[in-house]
Amino acid sequence: MNEVDLKALLEPLSVSRWEADGVLGVIDDGDAAFGDRHTTHRLLRGVAIGMADRPDDDLFATFADLAPAAAFVRDAAGRHLWANHAYAHLYGRTRDTVIGRHLADVDEAGDIARFLALDQEVLTRGRPVRHTLTYRRGDGLPGRAAGYRFPVRWGAARCVAGIYVDVTDHAQALDRRQRAEADLRTLRDHSGLLCVRLTPDGRVSEAGTAVADVLRIRLSDLMGLPADTLIARTPERSALHRIWDDLISGRRRSARACAVLVDRDGWRRRVRIHLSAVCGTTPGVSGVWAVGTHLGLRHQARPDLTATQVRILTLLAAGHSNADIAGTLRLSRQTLDYHLSRLRGLLDAATRPALVARAYVLGILSAQAWPPRSSTAPNPASPV
């Protein structure tokens, strides 16, 4: 193999190659060569040391024989005129058992007609063809390779050359990833869980139908919305912001938090959120998956109540009579009746039991405390 043959073989494939003079000056390079000449010279010095004792006539042949990409040259009838070690390795053979052999001696019977037809297409069209092929490896398992076939002059004959990279492992990894993504989409759309993927700037990029149902919004309208517009301004929101900053900066990979969702009609639902950072092929976090569980009851936004009104509700929930409440809070009966009337209007509850029930449903009173107290009380001993 001479220089012209080698360049014809490498030209269609984006591989890193250089041609250097005696003082390691770069004369020519391939499209994928390093742009940094300093790096190029360092690599060339290593190559020059390794091949210093080889005759110049053998350098191109040695380069092609030992290249990691699988390469071959066949005549129009399908006989291998040349092949390198990587090509023979694809089939679990040595190159001596490939060169001079016909396709029928190397490939599976079902592939021979297909490969010959592709060779004829290359010769007829007279230009390179990008191609992905499946083949039977030496261990009997299916393999996959990607590369180019193109016409070349080999001596006086028009032949077909090919250069391929084995992508079996990559293809299998890609298949596994596609299956995992399909499973994730199934989980997102059909599990009933509240699944949302957020971009690093906090916007919705993917969401399941369950999320759209809970928020009472069309799925298409949900895409691109800032997540902050879907969360009520509660004390949990500030803690959620701090967790988000940790996830996006890479300080944490996962976290749990609570939040209150706000639907399109202004109603609210408390939810527990499980957050997981997604790291892509590029450095940094490419997104965050948020999965909601323990969804609370849908309720209207909590009305703004005075401390006295909250204290009245805690005493009502404890079972005290109007006279007991007025005496405990040192209010006149008329003032207590005014507060109860206001509370019935604010909470949309007509009776004393309904007032207590609404206070718990809206989260005004803590469901985990007895005696009854406000859900925002600073300590267990404080009723409000």
CATH number at residue 186: 3.30.450.20
59 or 162: which carries more pLDDT confidence? Answer: 162
- Region for 216 from its dihedrals, namely left if φ exceeds 0, alpha if ψ lies in -120 to 50, beta otherwise: left
Q: What is the pLDDT of residues 80-129, one digit of tens each?
A: 999 998 888 878 889 899 999 998 998 888 888 888 999 999 999 888 88
176 in any annotated domain: no
The answer on 220 and 88 residing in a single domain is no
The answer on 227 and 128 residing in a single domain is no
Task: Please say if the pLDDT value at position 365 is more than 70.
Answer: yes
Task: Work out the average pLDDT over 289-318.
Answer: 84
Contact between 48 and 22 under an 8 Å Cβ cutoff? The reply is no
Q: What is the pLDDT of residues 33-51, one digit of tens each?
A: 334 444 434 433 433 333 3
Sign of CA dihedral 250, 251, 253, 254: negative
Q: Which domain holds residue 136?
A: 3-168
Total count of domains within the chain: 3
The answer on 16 and 152 residing in a single domain is yes
Q: What is the mean pLDDT of the chain?
A: 80
For residue 49, what pLDDT is reported? 37
Sign of CA dihedral 266, 267, 268, 269: negative
pLDDT band at 16 (very low <50, low <70, confident <90, very high): low
Task: Please say if the pLDDT value at position 179 is more than 80.
Answer: yes
The answer on 212 and 133 residing in a single domain is no
310 in any annotated domain: yes
Contact between 196 and 208 under an 8 Å Cβ cutoff? The reply is yes
pTM over 0.85: no
| Single-letter amino acid, residue 353 | P
